[in-house]
Amino acid sequence: MRPISRGATSVVTGAAGFLGSHLTDALLARGHKVIGIDNFVTGSVDNIAHLGGNPNFKFIQQDITEFIFLDVPVNYVWHFASPASPVDYLELPIQTLKVGSLGTHKALGLAKNKNARLLLASTSEIYGDPLVHPQTEDYWGNVNSIGPRGCYDEAKRFGEAMAMAYRRQHGVETRIVRIFNTYGPRMRLHDGRVVPAFISQALKQKPLTVFGRGRQTRSFCYVSDLIEGIYRLMMSSCEQPVNIGNPAEMTVLEFAKEIIRATGSRSKIAFKPLPQDDPRQRRPDISRARKLLHWEPKVALAEGLARTIEYFRRKTSA
């Protein structure tokens, strides 16, 4: 299959989510026709409301774990449907496991039926609490399958195995992206991830909640950079998993102080016990993305935070 840009038809599962909606915008801007699928369990109609009336966008409200019937040709399937924050997958563990297994099975079945290429949105969480740093795609991970985060970690690991099985058994063209911490507009205020949590606390002049002593590290990639990397991966010939994220690493405590500075907040920092299985280090090795996709992040943290904080200011004042 040769990559098609303008005129291609793309199916995006989880199209009303944070990443799915940004991906949909990017595909439409590149001339794709997009069929978005979402059941609004964690997605929001607000994220796609601006696409109402767009002749190149069709939306289907459906649970992706059910059979997907489409009577049009499809070139690409972008499987982004899944709860993706600790708050969500701790509240919805069974749904998280089902969308990662049954949902991935249905998405792969659609790709097989349409002779389409499928990209699976996997995650850095498949590395668990890593014993290798930074994390390369060859690392198999250190995951607690029965811990509170296991429902998400193992759902994504199963999804990767299913994608590779479809490629080997049925010849389906698959791509796997392992997404590291990403931030930007359209994140939910209370989804439990560190960026919206810190920004919302800072804007309300409340203490920023830092777990442990804040020495655990994270790296933050702005959403437009991530989407560009994902698009390049789909259009590439790379069949192995690829890390997409920002390798610039900082401690959670340093990040909290950066949020206070960027918002001009008077907030202090409140330390709380470290949650079970909270990763101590999380940083991508993006050598594969640099070599095969000629991709690396471009948006500086200060610039990305300014855009994200402005979005949250509007949301909290609305």
CATH code at position 120: 3.40.50.720
CA–CA separation, 64 and 86 (whole Å): 21
Question: Which pLDDT band holds residue 318 (cuts at 50, 70, 90)?
Answer: low
Dump strand ranges (E) for 171-223: 174-179, 182-183, 208-211, 217-219, 221-222
Neighbours of 230 (CB within 10 A): 25
Lowest mean per-residue pLDDT among 78-82, 155-159, 195-199, 287-291: 195-199
Bridge partners, residue 79, by sequence? 13, 120
Q: What is the mean pLDDT of residues 60-79?
A: 96
Q: Is 230 domain-assigned? A: yes
Reply yes or no on whether the pLDDT at 280 is more than 80. no
Reply yes or no on whether the pLDDT at 147 is more than 80. yes
Q: Is 30 domain-assigned? A: yes
Q: Is 1 domain-assigned? A: no
Reply yes or no on whether the pLDDT at 312 is more than 60. yes
Which tokens sit at 292?
């095969």
Reply yes or no on whether the pLDDT at 74 is more than 80. yes
Q: Is 255 domain-assigned? A: no
Q: Is 257 domain-assigned? A: no
pLDDT of 1: 60
- Residues whose CB is less than 8 angstroms from the CB of residue 50 and which lie 6 or more positions away in sequence, other chains included: none
Reply yes or no on whether the pLDDT at 3 is more than 90. no
Q: Is 276 domain-assigned? A: no
Peptide bond into 73 cis (omega under 30): no
Question: Which pLDDT band holds residue 2 (cuts at 50, 70, 90)?
Answer: low
Q: Is the dihedral of CA 233, 234, 236, 237 positive or negative?
A: positive
CA–CA separation, 266 and 202 (whole Å): 8
Total number of domains in the chain: 1
Reply yes or no on whether the pLDDT at 193 is more than 90. no
Q: Is 236 domain-assigned? A: yes
Bridge partners, residue 208, by sequence? 269
* Helices 223-234 & 18-29 angle (0-180, nearest 10): 60
pTM recorded for the entire structure: 0.94
Q: What is the mean pLDDT of residues 175-197?
A: 91
Q: Is 231 domain-assigned? A: yes
Residues with active-site annotation: 152
Q: Which residue has the higher pLDDT, 169 or 86?
A: 169
